[in-house]
Chains A and B, each alone.
Chain A
């Protein structure tokens, strides 16, 4: 198993550009989520999904869109990048959050800089 994979590892954008951060898992997990990590602020939930076709907002959803057309993939789209979106982005998955002694598996992260 590859686990949770994220691409790209690094990205530099100009203000106003759009892009998609890719996340995939091969563990047949129902639950997938996106976080951003900023210094001194821990991880904050952006969006999450409890299964294909179902997504919901987390703490900081503004400026981001997600979709979940398959169990494996959960892309995060930045519609019009802003410097405030400079951060490290982590994707995570687990079998299902509600029965959560289930471990969340984290991807290696994408470091995004918006100029």
Chain B
């Protein structure tokens, strides 16, 4: 299968920016995604980026894609305690979705 990697933990203070990083292996993936999972719940799509884009901004979220290095990042501006969750990046390759292991974001008040 594909290899999607993320760091496991990130801790920030409320009001700071959070940057969650992801590397992937399949350069033919058309779309790359960020999902959020709150405790005891399923995953919820936060945002996605088409592979021919470098950047996408959606309110407090900024996605950066470096296709040459196969590196994807999610920046959350003005991080709030409600942003505490696990964040997954994922790629879609011919009907199969491959997820990273998830980054647990802890936001301290």
Contacts and interface: CB of A to CB of B under 8 A. Distances in A.
Contact of A90 (B1, B43, B48, B50): B43
B48 A43 contact: no
Contact of B41 (A33, A41, A50, A108): A108
Given A103-B45, A106-B42, A108-B42, A42 B31 contact: no
Interface in B95-109: 95-102
Interface string A19-48: 000000000000101010000111111001
Given A42-B4, A101-B31, A48 B96 contact: yes
Interface residues of B, number: 26
A75 interface: no
Contacts of A113: none
B95 to A, nearest CB: 5
A34 B43 CA distance: 13
A56 B99 contact: no
Contact of A42 (B50, B92, B94, B102): B102
Contact of A106 (B44, B92, B94, B100): B44
A45 B44 CA distance: 17
A50 B95 contact: yes
Interface string A84-115: 00000010100001101101101111000000
Interface of B: 1, 4, 6, 8, 30-31, 40-45, 48, 50, 88, 90, 92, 94-102
